[in-house]
Structure 1
Amino acid sequence: MTADPLLTLFLPVALGIIMLGLGLSLGIADFARVVKFPRPVLIGLGCQLLLLPLLCFGLTKVFGLAPALAVGLMLLAASPGGTTANLYSHLAHGDVALNITLTAVNSVIAILTMPLIVNLALMHFMTGDQAIPLQFGKVLQVFVIVLGPVAIGMWLRSRFPGFAERMQKPVKLVSALFLLLIIVLAVVKDWQTFVDYAPLVGGAALAFNLLSLAVGYYVPRLLKLSLRQAIAIGMEIGIHNGTLAIALALSPVLLNNSTMAIPAAIYSIIMFFTAALFGWWVNRAHGRQLAAEAA
């Protein structure tokens, strides 16, 4: 696939605005909270960084996904939680502070883990002439594109807290529009593949989404975390940063493969409905316990 000038220009700008919005909502305290309350953060990160890629790999085999689609689903599994998880966690009475901390920490760790998981997936699923490994130079580009805007957002929040507070809403709105545009780009750029594989990829994406929510909720419960913490981790793991996965897949200077963007595009639509149903179910089933924990 040849480099598309629109994608070369548009994707870094879109991703930069989205990550700037994340930075505007973060402070040093969100990272410091790991030291004060390490257990729930470590459990959440363990689920996201270890369990999910393994489960996702199993799903690619169960559904028999084509190589590029399998890599795309693994790319999604390696992506950190999205900032929308904070909103859903709030609506479901989860521990939003834990969400913010997990998003902050995992967004940094993902800079290292995403290239590792993607490279392993490329080596496993793609033949030698198909694989385009994320070499150090490309990893460095991801680092700058992702962490640069986050750092700027955090700096603005520390220096101009009032301005950062006012800007959070409009930046989130613009981010949502960019997410929609990126999904449309992903679909339009490889429409025939989308039509051919949507039913199968849709099933795999739905299964992965439900597994993500289940792992994020039940593992913390088994390890005796509070209900509010389990809800937060469930939302954090169930709502992936699909925008980042799509941007890496489509970017002409990175993976440059629109087929790899399809799983994340479909997942990004599914997750909003399943996360809402999950929040409704857990509040209906455990409403009294949540009220007691919040009191």
Structure 2
Amino acid sequence: MTGSIITEILLPLALAFIMFGMGLSLTRFDFLRLWQTPAPIVTGFVGQIIALPLLALGICLAMELSTPMAIGLMILAACPGGTTSNVVSHLAKANLALSVSLTAISSIVCVFTAPFVIQFAVGYFANGAPIDVSLTSISLGLLVITLLPIVFGMVVRGYYREWAIKVEVYFRRFALVFLLLMITGVVIQEHAIIVEAFNEVFIACLLLNFGAMLIGVVSAKLLKLTHKDGLTLAIEIGLQNSTMAMLICISLLQMPSYAVVAGVYSLTMYLGAGLLIAYASYTSKQNLANHNSASM
């Protein structure tokens, strides 16, 4: 994880490869849903881009997290949902079209919003020992490794639809394997920090995960959205792209210690995802039972 070739070339290329795979799953119709059903998409967008960083900031202050942990949590909150949220939405039988649309939109917008969150976090929590963070370099880095590959993937999907649909599943598998390798690398390099602050980081990650999901559920209730849309918002706001967060910490900021939070979160987020899937399965069976009772 320390070699410049790995951190500056191989890791960004791997994330770009994953983002290209995401682009293969998208079409222009995913973005047209903005106009067709604006309420759930705008709600999810505000939850991811605004509410989530504010929630992370509140957790950092309330728990008095150490500098690396606080900055790592803020970076994680600044990242979009990623392909994991789409898989969970599918398993939970949520609104997959809404999930894909939110993932695509937040992945694009985070190129412009994440650098400001990161700069604020470093400036606020690093205190007397700030690192040199350039908004321009972070924005350009995210542009090259996320936005451009997504657009390129969509273009390829437009010309080679059948091939894109066929191979997109392999990109998802690569994303999972790559995430596991990233977690392993962070654990090996930063094991001392993880051992020392695991309880603190574990609780912070759980709070971020469950708090974000709660934001999605409450927002849906307030706006009287459907149960399916509420479940989707909980998943999209509650699950962050920890792979991107680790890449930002390691490759763009050259601070592997910040990636510890994203590494731990990569494990804890599946607790929340599992509960959502179980809840969705339970409510689905209840609805079916009620329907059968009413029919009789």
TM range (shorter): over 0.9
Instruction: Report the AA paired with residue 266 of structure 2.
Output: S
Q: Could you say which residue in structure 2 is the equivalent of 1:109?
A: 109
| Aligned-residue RMSD, C-alpha | 2.0
Q: Could you say which residue in structure 2 is the equivalent of 1:36?
A: 36
Q: Could you say which residue in structure 1 is the equivalent of 2:19?
A: 19
Q: Could you say which residue in structure 1 is the equivalent of 2:135?
A: 135
Instruction: Mark the runs of 5 or more structure 2 residues left unpaired by the alignment.
Output: 292-296
Matches within 5 A, 1:83-232: 83-232=83-232
**Structure 1 outlier segments of 4+, above 3 Å:** 1-4, 285-293
Compute the displacement of 1:96 (Å). Answer: 0.6
2: distance between equivalents of 1:291 and 1:176?
Answer: 36
Compute the displacement of 1:218 (Å). Answer: 2.1
- The alignment's TM-score, normalised by the length of structure 2, stands at 0.93
Instruction: Report the AA paired with residue 259 of structure 2.
Output: A
Compute the displacement of 1:137 (Å). Answer: 3.0
Q: Could you say which residue in structure 2 is the equivalent of 1:259?
A: 257
Equivalent of residue 274 in structure 1, options 268, 272, 277: 272
1: distance between equivalents of 2:138 and 2:104?
Answer: 22
Compute the displacement of 1:231 (Å). Answer: 0.6
Aligned partners of 2:83 and 2:172 also within 8 Å: no
Compute the displacement of 1:282 (Å). Answer: 3.7
2: distance between equivalents of 1:223 and 1:135?
Answer: 35
Aligned partners of 2:123 and 2:130 also within 8 Å: no
Report the CA distance shift for 1:126/1:167 in structure 2 as closer, same or farther (over 3 A).
same
Instruction: Report the AA paired with residue 276 of structure 1.
Output: G
Aligned partners of 2:20 and 2:152 also within 8 Å: yes
Compute the displacement of 1:188 (Å). Answer: 1.6
Compute the displacement of 1:128 (Å). Answer: 5.0
Answer with 134-143 or 207-216: which moved more: 134-143
Q: Could you say which residue in structure 2 is the equivalent of 1:45?
A: 45
Aligned partners of 2:67 and 2:126 also within 8 Å: yes
Compute the displacement of 1:131 (Å). Answer: 2.5
Deviations along 1:193-244, one digit per CA (max 9) or x if unpaired, are 1211111111111111111111112221221000000011111111111100
2: distance between equivalents of 1:106 and 1:86?
Answer: 13
Aligned partners of 1:76 and 1:245 also within 8 Å: yes
- Tell me the secondary structure at the aligned position of residue 254 of structure 2: coil
2: distance between equivalents of 1:227 and 1:292?
Answer: 16
Aligned partners of 1:47 and 1:216 also within 8 Å: yes
2: distance between equivalents of 1:292 and 1:39?
Answer: 29
Deviations along 1:62-103, one digit per CA (max 9) or x if unpaired, are 221111210110001110012121121122121110001101
Compute the displacement of 1:3 (Å). Answer: 5.8
Report the CA distance shift for 1:291/1:178 in structure 2 as closer, same or farther (over 3 A).
farther
Give the share of equivalent positions with the same residue, in percent: 33
Aligned partners of 1:227 and 1:290 also within 8 Å: no
Q: Could you say which residue in structure 2 is the equivalent of 1:57?
A: 57
Instruction: Mark the runs of 5 or more structure 1 residues left unpaired by the alignment.
Output: none
Report the CA distance shift for 1:224/1:44 in structure 2 as closer, same or farther (over 3 A).
same
Report the CA distance shift for 1:282/1:267 in structure 2 as closer, same or farther (over 3 A).
same
Aligned partners of 1:57 and 1:74 also within 8 Å: yes
Matches within 5 A, 1:72-83: 72-83=72-83
How many residue pairs end up in the alignment? 291
